[in-house]
Amino acid sequence: MSTIGDFDARELTAQKDAMLGVVERRMTGFIVRHALAPELVSSFLEQAKREPPPFPVFPSKHFTGRTIGQVLVVSEANLESYFASAAKLRGALESLGGACARLERRFVELFTALAGGLAVRPPADRTGRPYGPFTARELVPGGFIAPHCENETLRFPSMAELGGKLDPATQLSFYVPLQLPEAGGELELSGAEHGKGFGAELGSLDRTTPSTLAALKAHHVATLSPGVGDLLVFDAGRFFHQVTKVEGTRPRWTLGGFLAPSRARDTLYYWG
């Protein structure tokens, strides 16, 4: 399995091909330290914690917690709610102004600097509606995210139209921690690969049982722990990964989504 890069946001010029390194499987992923300035993190998190927040909020379907913005892969095949949520999230960020209004632009700056010359933009559906920029996820104490990989989602009805635009060989995940728990909530990366060996067996196993988790542990590659404001990008499409149980009293908050090159390999798409 390839390496995980680790560099500071001040080194972006020297890392201009990092995204292509993951797409072309020369790297498994990378962490950009200090990718989001503290005011970007604190401004968004302050709004996300408001009751009610100014953003669209959804209970999570696959972990104990909630999301700010609707996650595409767990949306119904009829995407009207998803696109309405995406528009509402962007509208809320813009209306809040200041750091919140700059948030999506900062991600585009980062992805553009790392994409080796590819154009960077959100994909759009056949009517021209852009997919959402990202989602925020609150994983509450005691919560965890079971082992999974993103290539499994390509068969989901909600991915049907978008899947036709993407290079199916590579779907990446990105996220930035906004708040870390006292303990736990770490990303465990496995070498088990979608559709191969033990990765193929996982398709028919209960991924929450002690026996499955013990078998997966034998394929453990790395525990990834980006700090608040650090950007993690990794090959989540191919490799199984999980988030360990959040311990203590403080929830784990992250802001992130997905990345993939277009089939023509001339554009890097991002969405939530």
Give per-residue pLDDT as tens, 138-148: 999 999 999 99
Give per-residue pLDDT as tens, 48-74: 999 999 999 999 988 999 999 999 999
Structural domain span for residue 224: 3-271
Give per-residue pLDDT as tens, 94-114: 999 999 999 999 999 999 999
CATH of the domain at 227: 2.60.120.620
Instruction: State which amino acid sits at residue 103.
Output: L
pLDDT value for 118: 97
* Residue predicted with more confidence, 168 or 115: 115
Helix (H, G, I), strand (E, B) or coil at 146: strand
Calpha distance 142→249 (Å, rounded): 9
Closest CA to 237 of 148, 108, 177, 124: 148
pLDDT value for 104: 98
Q: What is the total count of domains within the chain? A: 1
DSSP 220-269: EEEEE---TT-EEEE-TTTEEEEEPPEESSSPEEEEEEEEEEBTTSSEEE
**Per-residue pLDDT band at 231 (split at 50, 70, 90):** very high
End-to-end distance of the chain based on CA atoms, in angstroms?
A: 27
The percent of residues in the chain predicted with pLDDT above 70, rounded, is: 99
Q: Does residue 207 contact residue 146 with C-beta atoms inside 8 Å?
A: yes
CA 21 to chain centre: 18
pTM of the model: 0.96
Q: Is the pLDDT of residue 2 over 80?
A: no
Q: Is the pLDDT of residue 167 over 70?
A: yes
Collect all residues with Cβ–Cβ distance below 8 Å to 230 and sequence separation of at least 6.
31, 32, 33, 34, 35, 176, 177
Instruction: State mean pLDDT over 206-224.
Output: 92
**Per-residue pLDDT band at 41 (split at 50, 70, 90):** very high
Q: Is the pLDDT of residue 1 over 80?
A: no
Q: Is the pLDDT of residue 11 over 80?
A: yes
Calpha distance 187→210 (Å, rounded): 18
Q: Is the pLDDT of residue 163 over 90?
A: yes
Instruction: State mean pLDDT over 164-187.
Output: 95
**Per-residue pLDDT band at 129 (split at 50, 70, 90):** very high
- CA gyration radius for the chain? 17
Calpha distance 190→195 (Å, rounded): 14
